[in-house]
Structure 1
């Protein structure tokens, strides 16, 4: 799963949707759900990197036991 690519695709679809959906609910949706995404994706990427490091260490430790 590539979060950055999926976010780009979502952004493209949103821009196409905004052409037809331009009311207060559209603005609310954008503010509540879409504007926070870049920060959330960045945090998620950092956590995924940390998990990858931990999993490598676990794998290495397990290999040393065998």
Structure 2
């Protein structure tokens, strides 16, 4: 799940969509075909950081 401001930016992409069952909770879907590895990595880390506990984020070394 993305921060609402980030979600707005991602939803402007032509390869984004709002998932049927998770969209009401703020989730955004994204087709992965056109993403490079670095962009995909950043999106996964941001998404994990917004849903994982602080303790888990620190364990993986991805806290802000």
TM-score, structure 2 length as denominator? 0.31
Kindly indicate which of the two structures has a greater share of residues assigned to helix. 1
User: Highest relative contact order (Cα 8 Å, sep 6+), 1 or 2?
Assistant: 1
- Bigger Rg, structure 1 or 2: 1
